[in-house]
Structure 1
């Protein structure tokens, strides 16, 4: 009985509301106009409701201001809405409540906080094998501990700090024949040194000469063809030398200079010998008793000898003591 009474009251209220709305609609002025008096993008509009239809390729969007809705025409729908096109009009439709942005009503492109995107759906709990990423608001793969990101549980795409990437795996120490690259954060192949064959031994030489000696040195070299990487095998020696023995031979041109040096030495020895003989004669005369005239002659000869040694004169001295003219 009470339910019937409540239903009757509700019906009466609804009838009154409908009559009121009809009365209001009969007396409310609705001014419609074509695009000449409308805002940009509108094809038709009203003073109270804004745009009623849009120009081709534009979407109509209803902006809420309290209980009032005003139509505007936009080239694309705002965040949280997706566009639908039809021959009559293009509308902006609201996304699902858990979607921050969407492509259609069933395909989200970004989730609201607290939800995580997975295959176009916004979920509060990620499926098995994936973990929630708060920064991306997505369900991401549960990677191994040494991976920063991965394509699946067995393939890393980027390694954690301190590890180096190689063929989908992360290593703290690179395998054999590989070495770490701090720049690429990867294990790269090692590049070992390569050198060409040794050159022929050079002629035996000593102090840059190839003559005038019996024992010397000879050398050989080789060129580096490939420079090694930092952790690869270093290059072997590229320069060698060894002792050598050759038949001693005179250097060209030396035979002409030696007689000159020998002649100068001979002249010097002859002058020294003459000087020694002269000093000997003087000492012998000094030992003999001499007269006054001989003493004077001896003193004159001694003075003359001293002058000659100094290079002042080479003139002979007469026995009588008078200088030669």
Structure 2
């Protein structure tokens, strides 16, 4: 009975004439049904027809037929996708699961592996025991990976880094301790980024000649002009040049409009200031005179007091002499 099932499967897989295959398969199916008790009311959801002894014989559309070995016996199972180690093949008559190559853990088709078994390393869809030159084996990925330069943490190949070691800056797949000319380091990105230089606009026209905010009443003054910053520089870019300039200028000396009134006011202020100064000097002089007079009075009072004290002293000693008259005679 098992030989009949195997012949039935081979006929379906190798039939080239689809119409003839359907007729031949139908006749073989009826023959097998009579021999092994095939039924269409299968319990498994993906089975279209099945056998109590061999499991699924055919699957519903979009399901894959997978033969599971149990000892010497093979059981047909209908699956939505093939298990690991197998790849799916869709044919007009049925979809089947085919085993990958022995070194493949999983594969896309017979000639293209997607993951290798232990001891093999994936490279371009092939599972190899030794990697080509320039590549090294990665036991965690089971792949042949590039041998990165010493300054790289990860790379695409031996010349192109995708991430640099700490303290280095990446630029165009290379790692740099110091960024090349016209580039500067970015500690945030850990990359060499282009420098940005300052850009300024055109100079404005020179301002009118002025002095202390005035444009008249002087001979020598200054003119100024300015320009705007269009692009401020990056930290290492070229700084901005001067955005303002000043130069000396000469004008034909002329009086400002309303200058006479200003001069009159200035003269009045000067006269008033002089009067105030004179008044202050007069007050100070009078004060000094009063101080001198007071000092003289104080001196005279001290002398009179001294004379009186001397007279009283002589009286007490008995040496009093009568005062003389202005003519020199005694006072009667």
Same fold (TM over 0.5): yes
Match of 1:126 among 127, 131, 136: 131
Match of 2:245 among 220, 227, 240: 240
User: Following TM superposition, by how much is the alpha carbon of 1:66 offset from its aligned partner in structure 2, in angstroms?
Assistant: 7.5
**Could you give the per-residue CA deviations for residues 206-244 of structure 1, whole angstroms, max 9, x where no partner exists?**
343323444443222123344333322211111222444
- Please give the alpha-carbon distance, in whole angstroms, between the structure 1 residues aligned to 2:214 and 2:163: 62
1:38/1:51 contact within 8 Å kept: no
Q: Does 1:83 pair with 2:88? A: yes
Match of 1:252 among 249, 252, 257: 257
User: Following TM superposition, by how much is the alpha carbon of 1:71 offset from its aligned partner in structure 2, in angstroms?
Assistant: 3.1
Mark the CA change 1:100 to 1:260 in structure 2 (over 3 Å): closer, same or farther. Answer: same
* Partner in structure 2 of residue 210 of structure 1: 215
- Please give the alpha-carbon distance, in whole angstroms, between the structure 1 residues aligned to 2:125 and 2:194: 41
1:38/1:44 contact within 8 Å kept: no
User: Following TM superposition, by how much is the alpha carbon of 1:44 offset from its aligned partner in structure 2, in angstroms?
Assistant: 0.4
Mark the CA change 1:127 to 1:236 in structure 2 (over 3 Å): closer, same or farther. Answer: same
2:156/2:162 contact within 8 Å kept: no
Structure 2: give runs of 5+ residues left out of the alignment. Answer: 1-34, 283-332
2:100/2:106 contact within 8 Å kept: yes
Match of 1:100 among 81, 105, 116: 105
- Please give the alpha-carbon distance, in whole angstroms, between the structure 1 residues aligned to 2:237 and 2:271: 68
Mark the CA change 1:62 to 1:260 in structure 2 (over 3 Å): closer, same or farther. Answer: same
Helix, strand or coil for the counterpart of 1:71? strand
Q: Does 1:50 pair with 2:55? A: yes
**Could you give the per-residue CA deviations for residues 156-179 of structure 1, whole angstroms, max 9, x where no partner exists?**
142422333444433222222333
- Please give the alpha-carbon distance, in whole angstroms, between the structure 1 residues aligned to 2:270 and 2:133: 108
- Please give the alpha-carbon distance, in whole angstroms, between the structure 1 residues aligned to 2:241 and 2:145: 51
1:146/1:159 contact within 8 Å kept: no
- Please give the alpha-carbon distance, in whole angstroms, between the structure 1 residues aligned to 2:196 and 2:164: 26
CA RMSD of aligned residues (A): 3.7
User: Following TM superposition, by how much is the alpha carbon of 1:132 offset from its aligned partner in structure 2, in angstroms?
Assistant: 1.1
* Partner in structure 2 of residue 295 of structure 1: none
More moved, 167-176 vs 250-259: 250-259
* Partner in structure 2 of residue 179 of structure 1: 184
Mark the CA change 1:151 to 1:51 in structure 2 (over 3 Å): closer, same or farther. Answer: same
* Partner in structure 2 of residue 288 of structure 1: none
Mark the CA change 1:48 to 1:205 in structure 2 (over 3 Å): closer, same or farther. Answer: farther
Helix, strand or coil for the counterpart of 1:32? coil
Match of 1:220 among 213, 218, 225: 225
Helix, strand or coil for the counterpart of 1:234? coil
Match of 1:73 among 49, 71, 78: 78
User: Following TM superposition, by how much is the alpha carbon of 1:92 offset from its aligned partner in structure 2, in angstroms?
Assistant: 1.2
* Partner in structure 2 of residue 115 of structure 1: 120
Q: Does 1:32 pair with 2:38? A: yes
**Could you give the per-residue CA deviations for residues 105-150 of structure 1, whole angstroms, max 9, x where no partner exists?**
3321112344311232223332332101234321012232123444
User: Following TM superposition, by how much is the alpha carbon of 1:102 offset from its aligned partner in structure 2, in angstroms?
Assistant: 0.6
* Partner in structure 2 of residue 61 of structure 1: 66
